[in-house]
Amino acid sequence: MSVSVIEAKDLSKTYEAGRTEVQAVRDVSMTINKGEFTAIVGPSGSGKTTLLNLFGGLDTATSGSLSVVNLDISTLSKRQRADMRLYYLGFVFQAYNLVPVLTARENVEFVLELQGVGDERSDRAGEVLEELGLTEFADRRPNELSGGQQQRVAVARAIASRPRLVLADEPTANLDGENAEILLTMMRRLNTEHDITFVFSTHDPRVVAYAQRVITLVDGCVDKDEIKNAGSC
Amino acid sequence: MKINLSAKYAIRSLSRHLRRTILSVLGIGVGCGLCLFTIAFIRGEKKMMIRAAAESGAGHLTVAPKEWVNTRDNDLRLENWEAKRREIAAIDGIRIVTPRVQTDALLAFGTRMRGILMTGVDPPTEPVANRLVQKLVEGRYLESGEIGTVVVGRTVVKRLNVALDDDLMVTVAGQDGQMSSAMLRIIGIIETGSRELDGTICHVTVEQVEKLTGQQGATQLTILLENPKSLETMEEQLRNRMGNSAAVLDWEELLPEMAAGVEGDETWSRMIVLIIMTVVFLGIASAQLAAVLERRREFAVLSALGMKSGRLVLIMLMEGVVLGFAGALLGLSLGAPTAYYVATKGIDFSGLYGNAEMSMSNILFDPIFYGDFGWWLVPLSFVLALAATSLSSLYPAWYAARTDPARALQVEQ
Ligand SMILES: Nc1ncnc2c1ncn2[C@@H]1O[C@H](COP(=O)(O)OP(=O)(O)OP(=O)(O)O)[C@@H](O)[C@H]1O
Ligand SMILES: [Mg+2]
């Protein structure tokens, strides 16, 4: 039996842009189970970022219900949503994910410090970087890393706190094919080895190929929801 | 020991924008230094004014009849003044006690005359207690128990068109309203450099006043302390000793105008400090706000990772504290040497007053003003700088904390 990590029911988000209203997400219902590796695709403006922000509690829905890691988001305060992200979720964005003045290791450590991890956080950060083959970059600052390396450090940071769910908004958009492939392979490995659920948005058909499940959004609505054979690429 | 990552983060963020940080530190340092200098100068000025007042005849403390405090009636006399004087002189920490008695007098020479407040003094102790007497330029000062002699200021001499050894006709109103006159020889002339002050000086012996007014004794005992800092405890002690027989006044009560002047200067210095620190505060606040705006995305990412606003405010405050610390050190390195210079070399204001000595309410001031200097500059500098920077970090911190992360992530992506 699979355990759900995200459960959305009739989820909608409406933005007010001047006089007009933009329905970025409309009546989205979906369940994402533990261990899934899901891609959210769709044309620009179809609501991918909005949906991921709702999942992460960075934005609040206009209507509908949403439960993430078994927490009913609508009942959580801003502070509780921050705690939910800190302890259960990881985030990766398109670019500029890392704190520029901290080294790769310190970026990872920072999240552990926020969690209240004590003296062992430096070692733990080192272990995570090592596991992902990033040891040689540990003491470099983001501006001394390539875009691909930065994104890999960002993934390391996202999983350092052993989250249940990692949300990634177009993590490969700024990467070339080779780096996109390295990143996706890494994410997939973490998905299978640590049973971390991944939900990522993308435009790139080559990235989509890595996904186990592909949800297509059009105009804020779920247009297609296909489950492929696990691990096929 | 590992330093807290948030602190590392704050410090590195400051060093990342080194130019802006240096400018901020310069601003805080210069502002702080100016404040230190102003405060040191005004503190020194206050000390000097008190000293000038005390040594221009007002003393640190004055013992006078109770009734005199409100009436300032010169016909009043202290009970047993000689016994009181002996008692006070025996107290530890008293530099000098000298008696005074004053009466309104009319000085006349030929067809010229001039009204003046004549002071009866004790010749051996008066010069110690009164720096004006030390400005004797012609003749000699009074001698104990002397009758028939007077020492006057230069302006009196000029107005009456007299010279040393001339005899002045002095008339006073006696106890019962009867006129009483005497011929007094000018044996000494005092020139303080202040024309106004020199017009008020007319010293005779206590005995001379007794003889003219027909009233025995002195009205006041003027006291100088070894250490002006002991003023309050001494005042307390004297009040206890004098009990009901006499009042004890400090210089502020004796010279309310001067006290108001000193307080006015202190108010000014506080205003100046407030204005400077407000400017510093606004400058730092805008620099920190710019720093926050620049890092909106960075903060949004961190808040997406679960950082709470408290931590963000803490990081901003740390940046403020680091700036404040550096600013305080710079402020000290600018302010302390200037304060030291002014405390040791002084600032010469004589040019401003046409080389004349300065006077106010019958007090002779040195034309060179000395500031104060001491270890208190160090904590003051840190308090000023840290208060300004931590307060000015609060608004930017609050602004950053309430920024919507979803918005901030969107804007620059
Ligand atoms: N803060 C906002 N105010 C008004 N409209 C918004 C806001 N954020 C998003 N939108 C609108 O909501 C819709 C969905 O936007 P969203 O960013 O979720 O799309 P997306 O699928 O992520 O697009 P892209 O592939 O370009 O990143 C768009 O029409 C967008 O203009
Ligand atoms: Mg998007």
B12 and B137 together in one domain: no
Mean pLDDT of B13-41: 92
Residue A152 lies in a domain: no
Residue A116 lies in a domain: no
Q: Chain A contacts of B298, Cβ < 8 Å?
A: 96, 99-100
Task: Indicate whether B366 pLDDT > 50.
Answer: yes
Mean pLDDT of A50-79: 93
For residue A229, the model assigns a pLDDT of: 64
Contact A102 B6 (CB under 8 A): no
Q: A170: domain CATH number?
A: 3.40.50.300
Confidence of residue A67 (pLDDT cuts 50, 70, 90): very high
Domain that holds residue B308: 2-54+259-412
Mean pLDDT of A11-38: 92
Confidence of residue A232 (pLDDT cuts 50, 70, 90): very low
For residue B262, the model assigns a pLDDT of: 83
For residue B404, the model assigns a pLDDT of: 84
* B139 Cα: distance to centroid of ligand 1 (angstroms): 100
Task: Indicate whether A58 pLDDT > 50.
Answer: yes
Confidence of residue A231 (pLDDT cuts 50, 70, 90): very low
For residue B327, the model assigns a pLDDT of: 94
B72 and B182 together in one domain: yes
For residue B413, the model assigns a pLDDT of: 44
**What string of DSSP letters covers B96-155?**
EEEEEEEEEEEEEETTEEEEEEEEEE-TTTHHHHBTTGGGEEEE----TT--SEEEEEHH
B297 and B249 together in one domain: no
Please count the structural domains in chain A.
1
Strand partners, B96: B224
Residue A77 lies in a domain: yes
B79 and B207 together in one domain: yes
Kindly list the distances between the CA atom of residue B213 and the CA atoms of A125, B76, B142, B180, in Å, as whole numbers in the listed order: 98, 12, 19, 7
* pLDDT tens-digit map of A189-208: 999 999 999 999 998 888 89
Q: Chain B contacts of A93, Cβ < 8 Å?
A: 301, 304, 409, 413
Is any atom of ligand 1 closer than 6 Å to the C-beta of A216?
no
Q: How far apart are CA B281 and CA A115, in angstroms?
A: 34
Residue A102 lies in a domain: no
Kindly report the average pLDDT of chain B as a whole number.
89
Task: Indicate whether B371 pLDDT > 80.
Answer: yes
* pLDDT tens-digit map of B215-239: 899 999 999 999 888 888 999 999 9
Q: How far apart are CA A8 and CA A150, in angstroms?
A: 32
ipTM of the complex: 0.90
Is any atom of ligand 1 closer than 6 Å to the C-beta of A75?
no
Task: Indicate whether B156 pLDDT > 90.
Answer: yes
* B291 Cα: distance to centroid of ligand 1 (angstroms): 27
Domain that holds residue A75: 4-97+164-227
Mean pLDDT of B23-41: 93
Confidence of residue A211 (pLDDT cuts 50, 70, 90): very high
* A61 Cα: distance to centroid of ligand 1 (angstroms): 14
Task: Indicate whether B354 pLDDT > 60.
Answer: no
Higher confidence at residue B406 or residue B355? Answer: B406
Q: What is the number of other CB atoms lying within 10 angstroms of the CB of residue A100?
A: 14
B189 and B233 together in one domain: yes
* Residues 6 or more apart in contact with residue B189 via CB below 8 angstroms: B136, B137, B138, B139, B151, B152, B153, B154, B157, B164
pTM of the model: 0.78
Please count the structural domains in chain B.
2
Q: How far apart are CA B41 and CA A21, in angstroms?
A: 65
Interchain CB contact of B406 with A (< 8 Å): yes
For residue A156, the model assigns a pLDDT of: 92
What tokens were used for A183?
């990143």
Structural domain ending residue among the three candidates B209, B233, B254? B254
Does residue A90 contact residue A162 with C-beta atoms inside 8 Å?
A: no
Residue A39 lies in a domain: yes
Alpha helices per DSSP H over chain A: 48-55, 78-88, 104-114, 121-131, 147-160, 177-194, 205-208
Mutate to test the pocket of ligand 1, among B410, B411, B412 (most ligand atoms within 8 A of CB): B410
